[in-house]
Structure 1
Amino acid sequence: MLLAMGLVAGPGILGSAVAGASPYCGITWGSLDKSWQHYSSGTVSNVRSGRHACFDRLVVDVAGPVAGYNVRYVDVVRAEGSGFEVPLRGGARLQVAVHAPAYNAQGEPTYRPADRSELVNVWGYNTFRQVAFAGTFEGQTSLGIGVRARLPYRVFTLEGPGTSSRVVIDVAHYWQQ
């Protein structure tokens, strides 16, 4: 009977109910530490973010070959070199270390954030609350991500275009049921 009503009422009624439902994402990521021990001769050149249906994304651009990473949930994000606390909004904190410096061979910065405590605007994101620069020291650049809660995440690298590469961090909006 319900199927018949849906056919008679038209696809718009049934379609709007489905469109408003939360998407099934099939996310199987966990929340444990993720790392790939590979150092790059490239340098960090930019940090950007994006919102997706099932996760929030942070991208660290590297001018050069793909860089390794170490990403983990921590109680406190610490600045490179000094160890000072990097304050972050949110119920949980991800420490992101990209194995590439944010300076060139002459020691000149290759990435200069306008605001170290607000690298990207994440207002209105489902999961991200803040992204902050935690410094660059001895060939490694660190960031802190303040997130709504400890949620599953994944990290991967992409090569290109050209000789550039990216380290990508996706944090899910929720745990899959």
Structure 2
Amino acid sequence: MRRMGAMGAAVAALALAGTALAAGASTAGAAPATASTATACPTGWGSGVKGGVTAGAVPLKDIRTGKHDCFDRMVFDVPGGGDIGYYVQYVDRLHQAGSGDYIPVAGGAILEVRVAAPSYDPETGAATYPGKVGRPLPGVDITGYRTFRDTRFAGSFEGETQIGLGVRARLPFRVTQLTDRLVVDVAHNWTGSR
């Protein structure tokens, strides 16, 4: 009997693997898709107060939002701001910093977001973000979002910009500091399911 060399064994292994793949491919088309291929959503964010102190005088340039499978996202762009300070919490009612004026925000719960970046240039006083107090955020359309319900600009006071974010319910959220950006994600639910 003749022995197979290393090359012959490799060829035989590839042939067997090809046969197994062909058999799997022919049955895979007939099998229904399973839920095990779904990606799990992150959990453990919580709904308590979150804050990161970093003083800054670099102005806010833009606020934008995005929809994801597991959460809705709001991004604050502060070019040149480095790590941006913030304070985010659920509130019963949104009151403008400084004046204390009430600003109505629609939704089952309200997230107050304070970002350590004014909506104006501190040196010239010129507006760098076109928000109007008590109005929805300019250029932000949250139609069709699963969690976000309303956005309200509350103005800037003492170097901070204040936003009211109306959400469907008091849901877990996370805040991520990135260079020149602050990201607020609000989960679609507490369970981590889509």
TM-score, normalising length: structure 1: 0.84
Q: Deviations over 1:36-74 (max 9, x none)?
A: 111112110100000000000000111322320000000
Q: Residues 106 and 14 of structure 1: is their aligned pair in 2 closer, same or farther, counting only changes over 3 Å?
A: same
Aligned equivalents of 2:38 and 2:107: distance in 1?
Answer: 23
Letter in 1 for 2:189: Y
1:95 aligned onto 2:115? no
For 1:148-167, what aligned pairs fall within 5 Å after superposition? 148-159=168-179, 165-167=180-182
Indicate conservation of the 8 Å contact 1:26/1:176, yes or no: no
Aligned equivalents of 1:86 and 1:12: distance in 2?
Answer: 56
1:34 aligned onto 2:50? yes
- Structure with the higher strand share, 1 or 2: 1
1:55 aligned onto 2:74? no
Indicate conservation of the 8 Å contact 1:93/1:146, yes or no: yes
1:108 aligned onto 2:126? yes
Gaps spanning 5+ residues in structure 1: where? 1-5, 160-164
For residue 12 of structure 1, report the CA deviation from its aligned partner: 6.5
Letter in 1 for 2:167: V
Q: Residues 14 and 41 of structure 1: is their aligned pair in 2 closer, same or farther, counting only changes over 3 Å?
A: same
Q: Which has the larger radius of gyration?
A: 2
Aligned equivalents of 1:100 and 1:11: distance in 2?
Answer: 54
TM-score, normalising length: structure 2: 0.77
* Structure 1 stretch displaced more, 36-45 or 137-146: 36-45
1:117 aligned onto 2:135? yes
**Could you tell me which residue of structure 2 aligns to residue 85 of structure 1?**
102
Report how many residues are paired: 165
Q: Residues 47 and 14 of structure 1: is their aligned pair in 2 closer, same or farther, counting only changes over 3 Å?
A: same
Q: Residue 43 of structure 1: SS of its match in structure 2? A: coil
Gaps spanning 5+ residues in structure 2: where? 1-23
Aligned equivalents of 2:38 and 2:188: distance in 1?
Answer: 11
Indicate conservation of the 8 Å contact 2:103/2:134, yes or no: no
Q: Residues 123 and 78 of structure 1: is their aligned pair in 2 closer, same or farther, counting only changes over 3 Å?
A: same
Q: CA RMSD in A?
A: 2.3
**Could you tell me which residue of structure 1 aligns to residue 162 of structure 2?**
142
Aligned equivalents of 1:40 and 1:116: distance in 2?
Answer: 24
Q: Residues 172 and 24 of structure 1: is their aligned pair in 2 closer, same or farther, counting only changes over 3 Å?
A: same
